[in-house]
A and B are shown apart, each in its own frame.
Chain A
């Protein structure tokens, strides 16, 4: 149990990952699952762009197109972007604050399996009668009118994975508050930790609104309630409110950790501490706070009236201020620095102007009367892809290259990495820049085809060509991963040479108990401080002692599996006799597993001091 060095059979490895509660292994699970969903979402995007390459195209049918566009959005937001961010949060945040693990290792595993089963459930819709087709926003009147079980897959799948996200959010909040190493004060935390903290708080307060909205949708479709049926007194605008009360903070849940990743990368490869650290922290918190005040700007055309529209317009504009602060702080971190253009740094550098583009169109969209024109047109499509690809996806690609050695102990190929970067960046701008103009020229969003002679041909063709660049870039990244994994050249603690934060003071990959002795943190960028004083490693804050470790557990898998089964029962309850029993069986599995977890004592185990001293020194585990 204590050494993971021996070779294990495939079955043993599989069982290890099914039961693991180690944040580093859960990070790898998130990375793999999120990566697979990212590729699925990417394939769906390619179908969209092929269909729209020329007018009156028949590549896919209208109904299928709506399923593809819905699954593209839903998959990318819930099953790719967020889990991939969780992958890096799990891999890095506990190390950055010098923690043994997260606060709730068991819940960490539960969060992953809930997400995973929710995502699998949602995607099974492709094989079981058709995917959801009401858009990722699933507005109530259309989602109630939608036939088949597509929308039920959406609501039940997102409900399950949403619980997982909520659990992950609480876990990171407690981890960051309670588990920091000695000397790691709040104002010494790396920006990625800070943004994870704020994003987790947003998850905590935003996801329950979605939970409630999805409950209503499920009840309306499967259990006979009338929340969204106007003929029975219901009101569809309630869904819009609940969805966007969740949906807008969700944007910041995605982008804030991206900001954190880039802050760390920019500071690392400029060899400079972050310019205006405290204003960066302040801006992060302010963005998180304002993120809850602006949801109705997604509903300017819903007819809420001029007072609501005016208030939400001005509130939305206000967010530009803290975001602007961040942009300039990044620029001035690089100013006077010593910039090394590694692959992660290329992404970070490209992110700044790309995100500025997405940011300025955001302010333009905030001007409510002008938004009446932009709303639900391709201008909006361009805007949020600039924010989400130009911000979140670039950060995920950057983090993949940046943290790969920390997670797997080997460096991705820099040459292939740079090729991926250039293809992806060019493809991204080629695809989405032109879409601003398509929208302004009168092209609505979510249309499965467009007619000739409306001035929309060239723009759409250019956009589709760009998409292929991004696809090729992704393929090269996959090749890079395969080559790197096969070669498996091991690297040391600080493979980039410029590491500033605690995660670079520990072996790559770190031993399963992380720091042998908790490190003493003496300031912002603690590892940099030690390096500048000529030291190779952190000063320990405690004598070598026994380390308390949690036991692995299969229960998270079972709890999630139970909900997965119950969801099928709930969905087919009205169609087949076996629906209700299956619903009950699933819930019994879930609550039974929770009960077992509750009554079975789990004190974990201790790694003894002697064992730690025996561990190889070349692993660099001495903190």
Chain B
């Protein structure tokens, strides 16, 4: 099967994301990339745990005073939902239903944007209410680096999905762009999983003390 072929609903294969050699390579390579990303985030988590609540003087705020459950819970729910909507999008991609795929991807993007907006609000809140900044303590550096790296991943994922949607808006699905959509969605799931760990390690464990 060639990537350029014009596909119909009948000729569309069961796994369009792995139908050509290029697609297979992309699929496997992207999984490896996520493996590397795991080590990256593992290092960030380990550093965060080592530097959690490490502040120069007693008047600096600690994790247990900082985090607020409702906001973080809302962010978690939004991101988890966006993962679900990207699954729907891939479901429609596999069924060669381009319009519905675009629709669900659009919803995913909106959810991702609101997550990002809340995160910016959250950071802003910490900086202005608690004077908890990137430079105020080792704890601050570690916190903003870990959560911020995740936030940057979300932002990059949004740019990626949006540009894919716009680029392919007029021409529909093909075996050339199906793996692109698929890897973008894989990436989206991955940053979602990372957030689950951030939610647990940073926020839940942080509130316990």
- A and B directly contacting (CB within 8 A): yes
Report A's interface with B, CB cutoff 8 A: 103-104, 107, 166, 170-171, 173-174, 177-179, 204-209, 211-213, 215-216, 219-220, 223-227, 229, 231-235, 238, 241-242, 245, 595, 598-599, 601, 603
Per-residue CB contact flags for chain B residues 2-28 toward chain A (1 = under 8 Å, else 0) read: 011000000000000000010011001
* Interface window among B36-44, B95-103, B188-196: B36-44
Are A238 and B50 CB-contacts (below 8 A) given A178-B28, A219-B145, A233-B55? yes
Asked if A204 meets B43 with Cβ closer than 8 Å, knowing A233-B138, A603-B3, the reply is no
Minimum CB–CB distance for A112 against chain B, Å? 17
Q: Are A235 and B36 in contact (CB under 8 A)?
A: no
**Is A215 within 8 A of B55, CB to CB?**
no
Check A208–B39 contact: CB distance below 8 A: yes
Contacts of B40 in A (CB 8 A): 208-209, 211-212
Q: A212-B44, A225-B135, A603-B3 are in contact. Are A177 and B28 (CB under 8 A)?
A: yes
Residue numbers in A under 8 Å from B3 (CB-CB): 603
Give 30 pairs: A residue, B residue, CB < 8 Å, sorted on A. Answer: A103-B25, A104-B25, A170-B36, A173-B28, A177-B28, A178-B21, A204-B32, A204-B35, A206-B39, A207-B36, A208-B36, A208-B37, A208-B39, A209-B39, A216-B141, A219-B141, A223-B134, A224-B134, A225-B140, A226-B135, A227-B141, A227-B142, A233-B56, A233-B137, A233-B139, A234-B51, A235-B54, A235-B138, A595-B163, A598-B164
Within 98-149 of B, Cβ neighbours of A (below 8 Å) are at 134-135, 137-142, 145
- The CA of A215 and the CA of B134, in the complex, are separated in Å by 14
Q: Is B167 an interface residue (CB 8 A)?
A: yes
Q: A232, B137: Cβ atoms under 8 Å?
A: yes
Query: Which residues of chain B are within 8 angstroms of A235 by Cβ–Cβ distance?
Result: 50-51, 54, 138
Contact at B134–A178, with CB atoms within 8 Å?
A: no
**Which of chain A's residues have a CB closer than 8 A to the CB of B140?**
225-226
Cα(A223)–Cα(B142), bound, Å: 13
A161-B20 Cα distance, complex, nearest whole Å: 31
In the docked arrangement, what's the CA distance between A242 and B32, Å? 21
* Contact across chains for A233 and B54 when beta carbons are under 8 A apart: yes
Asked if A226 and B141 sit within 8 Å, CB to CB, the answer is yes
Most chain-A CB neighbours within 10 Å: which of B32, B37, B137?
A: B32
For A220, list chain B residues within 8 Å (CB): 141
The 6 A-B residue pairs with the shortest CB-CB distance, nearest first, are A233-B54, A233-B138, A225-B141, A208-B40, A224-B135, A212-B43
* Cβ–Cβ contact B43 & A174, under 8 A: no
Contact of B73 with A by CB under 8 A: no
Check: B76 CB closer than 8 A to any chain A CB. Answer: no
Q: Which residues in B have their C-beta under 8 angstroms from that of A178?
A: 21, 24-25, 28
* Residue numbers in B under 8 Å from A209 (CB-CB): 39-40, 43
CA gap between A208 and B34 in the complex, in Å: 11
Measured CA separation A170–B160 after assembly (Å): 21
Known: A174-B25, A179-B25. 11 other contacts (CB 8 A): A173-B32, A178-B24, A178-B28, A208-B37, A212-B47, A219-B134, A226-B141, A227-B141, A234-B138, A234-B141, A242-B47
Shortest beta-carbon distance, B105 to chain A, in Å?
15
